[in-house]
Structure 1
Amino acid sequence: MANFSGLLSRELTVYPTGGRRVWLLFIAILANFIASYEAQIAPVLPLLLNDLNISLAQYGMVSACSVLASAVSALLFAPLADRYGRVKFLVPSLFLTCVCVYAMVLVETLSHLLVLRIILAFVDGIAVGTTAGLVRDFSPRLGRALAFGFWTFGPVGSNFFANAMAGWTLPIFHVWQSQFVIGGTIALLSSIVILFNIADLSPKLRSRIIHSTEEMEAQNEKSPSPTDSTENTPKMREILRYPHIWTLCIGITLFLLTYMTIASFGTKLLVDAFHYDAHQAASIAKYFWLFNLFTLLLAGWISDRLQLRKIVSLTGAVLFAIYMIFFISLFGTEVPEGQMMIYTSLLGGLIGIAYGPWCALFSENAEDVKASLQSSAWGLFGFASRVVSLTVYFAAPIVVAAHSWETWLWIAVGVGVIVYIPFLFTGRGPWFRRKEEKITFTPAP
């Protein structure tokens, strides 16, 4: 027990540079990927619902309850991670969710599914703030958008991987339980690797704003072993005082309504609207996530080179709105599988262009308020995104039952774009000029 506790208490008093920093950033990204992968259920949703005789509306209620548990968890543990360190909360949560994933094979009733998904979601909610905080810690601003593009590989890459795995193995094993055995095993092995490699920055290092690795290398030479101070303990209410932090959170989570729909009901949507088989739908859906990941990295790289977050994100949002007019028009028509792979790829890619630079924008805006409150800011985002996703689980099945998937997507796109674009303007940072802005905040009373 003492050795395990020691693994969770590793703190770096000198900022890592070179390959060491890149490795720690990779471990943080891997942790987010595993946390997201452990929660995957969409690729086997059609089979699971049929086998357990659960309606889409009933599943929507299960998902809503689990999302609410995850939202509470994200908001509860994020400030604790800022105060006591990210690793102490992240690593145990990974192992606990592994247990929940394995337990999914025992689910036989709606009540079993409800209880297990709530437990898994509550534990899994810890990962948002902790992994985002670690990514910020190990990524200077000059590479922040690209780093968060890789961080988004967690939910995006895990969706792609889970759909690809289901498309490959379901024709072999034929039962939905196989995916949870495979997922639990991959997650367990990865969690062991994370346990022995992950580390925290010390509180004093976490309180610094880092613009480049060269800057920190110079700081390390001057002060190789900074002494941490217990003064000025970070408190989440400090980040909640600023309206633009709230508007950035609300805007992006509403913009991601379409993304959340694909993540939750992607295979079900393709089966219902285009009459593909379950394994075909899973195989098609993976291309949404694959191209989404590609554009997240590309847009992030461009945003880092220009040091412009808002204009790149706005471009993606506008292109997404235009493209969705065409994509929704396909509903009710017969689309060959190969063409649908292209269409879903483009949909995922345009969302990635908007989302990747936003991650860097939000991280930097929160950092300018108080650098040591990064997990708290991302915990707020985790809470907001999960509350908004409740709309998907509650409203989507109702709208689909009364009308169609086409109607629901029109609602999701309309609300998302109309709110996100004006809210993006509230973020602090340049639009068209490469310029370091010194932003001064007046504390709220």
Structure 2
Amino acid sequence: MKPFYVRELNTYPVGARRIRLLAIAVLASLVANFETTLATILPLLREDLGMSLEEYGLIAAASVLVAGISAGFGGILSDKWGRVTLLVPTLTVTAACNFLLATVDSVGGLFAVRCLMLFIEGAGITITASLVRDFSPRMGRAQAFGFWTWGPVGASFLASAIAGLTLPMFGNRWESQAIIMGVVSLTLCAIIIWQIAEPSAALRAQVMTSEAAVSAEEKIDPAKARELLRYGHLWAHVLGNTGWQILYWTLAIFGQTILVDSFGLRAAGANGVVALGIVLNALAVILVGRVSDRLQLRKPFTLAGTILTIASLGYFVTIIGQPVSTAHGAAVWAVVFLCLGVAYVPWMANFSEDAEDVQPALQGAALGLWGMVVRVMVVVLLVVAPLVVTAGGWSVWIMVTIGGQAVFLVSMAAFKGRWRTTASADVPA
């Protein structure tokens, strides 16, 4: 017996209907990320609770660890029970927890609330990625995942924009942002519950090249998730991208703090700079995703984006702590975000397709494995980064993120897929 909010599709949606369902999946990704965003108020929260960067790192590490456990099991259970069955309750309960966050008045209270929120959230983000794959044939998958990245980057933009506009209105009280996030998230959850649907397990087990290729193929029963562990190229994807994610999560968690500490910006100004970078990133992922889909090439874009990211980070290190203008710092920050967008979306399509070639019925498990390993890395980041920054400053930690990009660069050698177009390649008109 399915819950009342589950609508299961027995035929693959095409045309405008598929686009609408894909948009709802992207909206769910935005909500899942938005309702747990803390970076926008972290400088104010630390000051109010008398919390050091090291203490926050330990709190965040513990909460992300439980999120990693949740992501791993959530992906597997979504393959078995369905995406929406788990997604809707995770979104709504986490949204409601923001009102609980607004009552926090101690470091211990923050620890308890964040662990609760991220345990629920961990499964939700994995499931939204699985839903996007379910509604995106390969001819449009990179662009679809480009829209999916509007979830995390869009959440950061939305939170930063709201904070930049409303913090002065509420006397720079961080509690105001927690309440606003709760109200906005619950409102968006109502829209998702009203519109969301998912393909049946039989449809999820098919490999869709394009909408025209939808067929009634023999259905594939989901194999055990541990089958994925036998393939070295999938581990190269997971571990290599985990190195790439060191930079992304550094910017997502500490972005505003880096700008405040390194360039002397106020919290509202730092949120404005972050929002600018996110807008450029959002545009880049869609443009690059579209071109990647037209050429049906993934690896060249990932390689180019990673090399550009390393170069821009190298310059960013040289200006940290220097008397540069706000416009100069904002421009470099924006370039870093732009380069990240070039690399990420083609990689995600590449990973999804490589996992699909192993076993299409295990997309949720593959994405869950990736989500779990990334969150283990984030735990280490949250413990180690504050110690490194205290000892050597943010420039030293940015050098660590460059090392993570280099790991990703090396791992690309093991990815499947072509480096260039061929005369026989099926390129959409």
TM over 0.5: yes
CA displacement at 1:197 relative to structure 2: 1.1
Q: Distance in 1 between matches of 2:44 and 2:142?
A: 38
CA displacement at 1:436 relative to structure 2: 7.7
CA displacement at 1:277 relative to structure 2: 1.0
Aligned to 1:103: 100
Q: Alpha-carbon deviations, 1:352-405, whole Å to 9, x = none?
A: 111110010000001101111111111011111111112221111001111100
Q: Which of 413, 416, 420 is 1:428 aligned to? A: 416
Displacement over 3 Å in runs of 4+: 434-437
Aligned to 1:72: 69
Is the 8 Å Cα contact of residues 30 and 155 (structure 2) preserved in structure 1? yes
Q: Distance in 2 between matches of 1:178 and 1:370?
A: 46
Q: Which of 197, 202, 218 is 1:204 aligned to? A: 202
Aligned to 1:176: 174
Q: What amino acid maps onto 2:404 in structure 1?
A: G
Aligned to 2:387: 398
Aligned to 1:63: 60
Q: Which of 271, 296, 311 is 2:260 aligned to? A: 271
Matched, 1:345 2:313: no
Matched, 1:325 2:314: yes
Q: Distance in 2 between matches of 1:133 and 1:301?
A: 20
Q: Distance in 1 between matches of 2:110 and 2:408?
A: 34
Is the 8 Å Cα contact of residues 366 and 377 (structure 1) preserved in structure 2? yes
SS at match of 1:7: coil
Is the 8 Å Cα contact of residues 302 and 347 (structure 2) preserved in structure 1? yes
Q: Percent identity?
A: 39
Is the 8 Å Cα contact of residues 143 and 293 (structure 2) preserved in structure 1? yes
Q: Which of 123, 129, 148 is 1:126 aligned to? A: 123
Q: What amino acid maps onto 1:367 in structure 2?
A: E
Is the 8 Å Cα contact of residues 83 and 234 (structure 1) preserved in structure 2? no
Aligned to 2:302: 313
Is the 8 Å Cα contact of residues 306 and 339 (structure 2) preserved in structure 1? yes
- Give the unaligned 5+ runs of structure 1: 438-445
CA displacement at 1:283 relative to structure 2: 1.1
Paired residues in the alignment total: 425
Q: Distance in 2 between matches of 1:53 and 1:418?
A: 37
Matches within 5 A, 1:248-327: 248-327=237-316
Q: What amino acid maps onto 2:159 in structure 1?
A: A
Q: Which of 188, 191, 201 is 2:189 aligned to? A: 191
Aligned to 1:442: none
Q: Alpha-carbon deviations, 1:20-45, whole Å to 9, x = none?
A: 10000000010010000011000110
Is the 8 Å Cα contact of residues 129 and 376 (structure 1) preserved in structure 2? no
Question: What is the TM-score when the length of structure 2 is the normalising length?
Answer: 0.96
Q: Which of 26, 40, 43 is 1:29 aligned to? A: 26
| Structure 2 CA distance for partners of 1:75 and 1:436, relative to 1, 3 Å | farther
SS at match of 2:18: helix
Aligned to 1:91: 88
Q: Which of 100, 109, 114 is 2:111 aligned to? A: 114
CA displacement at 1:417 relative to structure 2: 2.4
Is the 8 Å Cα contact of residues 354 and 416 (structure 2) preserved in structure 1? yes
RMSD across aligned positions (CA) = 1.7
Question: What is the TM-score when the length of structure 1 is the normalising length?
Answer: 0.93
SS at match of 2:102: helix
Q: Distance in 2 between matches of 1:286 and 1:393?
A: 23
CA displacement at 1:129 relative to structure 2: 2.3
CA displacement at 1:99 relative to structure 2: 1.5
Matched, 1:41 2:38: yes
Aligned to 1:443: none
Is the 8 Å Cα contact of residues 222 and 362 (structure 2) preserved in structure 1? no
Is the 8 Å Cα contact of residues 82 and 234 (structure 1) preserved in structure 2? no
Q: What amino acid maps onto 2:70 in structure 1?
A: S
SS at match of 1:428: coil
Is the 8 Å Cα contact of residues 263 and 326 (structure 2) preserved in structure 1? no
Q: Distance in 2 between matches of 1:89 and 1:254?
A: 29
Aligned to 2:405: 417
CA displacement at 1:435 relative to structure 2: 7.3
